[in-house]
Structure 1
């Protein structure tokens, strides 16, 4: 397995590359995984699996019938590289990638606040 030492520049504003270096091939910073599509921000709901977290994304939906907004949320499974450490309750930025497994189609890019 090759060692990934060089940190790629993802050109995402507000997201800094991690200090740690990992050898995960599915890491967007040190591996070969490309980030494309949407960028979302959410709170880590569960961080029990080894390389996967559940992120709760809260967004506003406009209801035309009642002419008002309502708050909706969805839980998204995201891949967690070895170089990024998160706990439950952290606000993270996730990016869309190719499907990594059956339910994982996002990856954690960085931590906004702990």
Structure 2
């Protein structure tokens, strides 16, 4: 609750300055839930979410997906396939403006 969201604080400790729990990074704006698609980059994960878009011409729904790069703090142990919640922050790099705040579940 220290970051303004109703999420549990991670058990691990870290020295990451861009950690919302142990650093000085504030969170604001939108909160997105999605599945981790990639953990190939250092301190970054790619979160993918699927949603349906209505197409009036065919009177049906079409699946779309968006991929959002997010900062992965050291105190969270994130793996591909995990379902995570990410929160919006100030821009951390050219493409990153979100940070992982909670691991909801995953492939077990």
- Residue 100 of structure 2 aligns to a residue whose secondary structure is strand
CA RMSD of aligned residues (A): 1.5
Q: Distance in 2 between matches of 1:65 and 1:22?
A: 52
Structural mapping, 1:16-35, within 5 Å:
16-35=8-27
Shift of 1:43: 0.6
Indicate the residue corresponding to 2:98 in structure 1: 106
Match of 2:85 in 1: 93
TM-score, normalised with respect to structure 2: 0.88
What is the CA distance between 1:16 and its match in structure 2? 1.5
> Corresponding residue for 1:55?
47
Instruction: Give the length in aligned residue pairs.
Output: 106
Deviation for aligned residue 1:17: 1.2
TM-score (norm 1): 0.84
Q: Which residue of 2 aligns with 1:12?
A: 5
